[in-house]
Every structure is written in C-alpha cells, then in structure tokens.
Amino acid sequence: MNIKKNNGLKIICLNRKASFNYFLIDLLEAGIVLKGSEIKSIRDGKVSIADSYGIEKNGEIYLINSHIPVYKQASYSNHNPYDERKLLLNKREISKLIGKINKEGLTIVPTKMYFKKGKAKVEIAIAKGKKNFDKRQTKKTRDWNRDKARYFRKTS
C-alpha cells in the first residue's frame, strides 16, 4: 500500500494576523510575478506578508506592502523589497474579486505563501474587517477552548 505523504506544498510564510483581524470569506490560490533575485530570497525563507493587502490597478490585482528582503548575492540586478507584485489570476477570478471589493467593501488579504511544484503561490482571501468587540470574542473563545482542553486532560 503506497500512501502519498507529501502533496508538493512547502509553506514559506503564514499571515496569522489575518484570521484575527478579518473575517475570511473566500480563499483563492494565485501565482505571483517575481524577479530572479526575489525568488532566490524567497527560497531563503525570509518573507513577510503580515501587513500586505491586494488592490486593483488597470484590471489586474497587485500585492502591496509584502516584504521580500534584498538578496545579497545579486549585485546590480537586485529588487526593491517593498515593490508591488502582480498576482496571476484568471479573468473570471479577477472580475469576481473587483466586484466584491467595489460593491461590498471587502478587501484582499494574503493568508500564506508557499511553493507548489516549484512555483511560488500566494493564498489570498476575500475578507471583511473585524471590529474590536469581534476580536475580543475571538480571543475569549480561544481561551475557553484552551481551558476546556486542559480540564478534559486532567479528568481523563
């Protein structure tokens, strides 16, 4: 019996603040346009997408404020660490995203970046911002689940 253990995903970075600050409505996988020095820096694993978001510009979706550090071995052909990067999506997906952003006041937030079969991918979410009382409720339920697991561990 041959069991497939690896599905070809190597996670580079996660955006843990996204699920705390936003209600994640829909998830999409998108490719990302990168330069040579950017992909080398990503393979080193020093990427941050914590404060990044997506915008629509000229009918295309761009990832803004994602930090990919400078690759030291690339001399003159290095990249800007905070450059805007184009996301690769189908026209149908782009029009769906643009419609939801403009009509419903939602935003595009990256949740994780990973390699899939050697290609860099970004998982983006269509999200709605949480208010402070929503964040307090999320924290309260997380604490209660932790305490509940502790009680069950002690009794059994």
Range 35-41 average pLDDT:
86
Task: Tell me the whole-structure pTM to 2 decimals.
Answer: 0.79
81: domain CATH number is 2.40.280.10
Q: Express each pLDDT in 61-99 by its tens digit.
A: 999 999 988 888 877 778 878 889 999 999 999 999 998
* pLDDT score, position 73: 80
In a domain, 139, yes or no: no
Q: What pLDDT is attached to residue 1?
A: 46
| Domain that includes residue 101, residue range | 10-130
Task: Provide the domain count of the chain.
Answer: 1
Answer yes or no: is 144 within a domain.
no
Positive or negative, the Cα torsion across 10, 15, 19, 24?
negative
- How many residues are given for the chain? 156
The reply to whether 63 falls in a domain is yes
